[in-house]
Amino acid sequence: MVDRIRRIPEATVARLPVYLRSLAELVDEKIATVSSERLAEMAGVNAAKVRKDLSYLGSYGTRGVGYDVEYLLFQMSRELGLTHDWPVAIVGAGNLGQALANYGGFTQRGFPVAVLVDADASKVGQIIHGVRVHHIDELPELSATLGIGIGIIATPASAAQDVADRLVAAGVASILNFAPAVISVPDGTSLRKVDLALELQILSFYQEHRDLESDGAPPHQAPLAPG
């Protein structure tokens, strides 16, 4: 495979972290090699998809043998940009923001919560789960000083667009939005959304339509969001 213009499909990018997690488990179990079949089982997809996905990263497998777990883990980490930490800022120190600040999974996976930010002056100065709350007006300085690469919006929907604008203005180029609102960002800014109630509404649809269908509707299997 020629090494040029390897644009990785969005659907594949969305699955790479799942493979990564599976590989990390294999490392823990001291397993040195893994087949696409085994990896597929762990990731909850099929083997052809695993092979196709991994092929976008390069030819890192060995025919007749499988993939070297550690080597593949390293290559994938590199491709995902996970060889260094990405400090994040959480905007909104309410219930959700506080819970996220306390969620160990972020730091553990290389996304230390460097700062909490809120518009409410009475919250500023508090230390929540070891993270200091700053006023949102300080975002530009904080962003530069702490090297914030990712902003998490955990505010009410009504504030979300304004917060997004401020994050962008502060130089934060990646945003994860938990507010139940559609927000828009300029080209060059990455945006993903997590809408909790929306997920339940989707489940509601499939529950409501369960065995209403006469003929072999597949049970609902949510794939990972592309992107």
Partner DNA sequence: GGTTGTGAACAAATTCACAGCG
Partner DNA sequence: CGCTGTGAATTTGTTCACAACC
Using CB under 7 A as the criterion, which residues of the chain lie in contact with DNA when the complex forms?
1, 9-12, 34-37, 45-49, 51-52, 54-55, 59-67, 223, 226
Nearer to DNA, 101 or 185 (CB): 185
Q: Contact with its own copies (CB under 8 A): which of 59, 105, 122, 127? A: 105
Closest CA to 118 of 104, 132, 130: 132
3-state secondary structure of 150: strand
28-36, 54-62, 108-116, 140-148 -> range binding its own copies (CB under 8 A):
108-116
Nearer to DNA, 12 or 143 (CB): 12
By the 10 Å C-beta count (0-12 exposed, 13-18 middle, 19+ buried), 143 is classed as buried
> Any idea what DSSP says for residue 213?
S
Shortest distance, CB of residue 157 to its own copies, whole angstroms? 9
Out of its own copies, DNA, none, what residue 59 binds, judged by CB under 5 to 8 A for its kind, is DNA
The structure tokens listed for 6 are 């390897």
> With CB under 8 A, what is the number of residues at the site for its own copies?
77
Shortest distance, CB of residue 125 to its own copies, whole angstroms? 22
Sequence-distant (6+) residues with CB within 8 A of 21 are none
Nearer to its own copies, 135 or 195 (CB): 195
Out of its own copies, DNA, none, what residue 190 binds, judged by CB under 5 to 8 A for its kind, is its own copies
CA distances from 138 to 152, 175, 205 (A): 16, 18, 43
Closest CA to 120 of 156, 71, 69, 173: 156
- Say whether residue 158 binds its own copies (CB under 8 A): no
C-alpha 48/C-alpha 114 separation (Å) is: 40
Q: Contact with its own copies (CB under 8 A): which of 9, 81, 147, 171? A: 81
Out of DNA, its own copies, none, what residue 31 binds, judged by CB under 5 to 8 A for its kind, is none
Shortest distance, CB of residue 26 to DNA, whole angstroms? 13
Residue 36 near residue 57 (C-beta atoms within 8 A): no
The structure tokens listed for 19 are 């493979």
Q: Beta 113-118 vs 131-135: how paired, if at all?
A: parallel
47-55, 62-70, 135-143, 213-221 -> range binding its own copies (CB under 8 A):
213-221
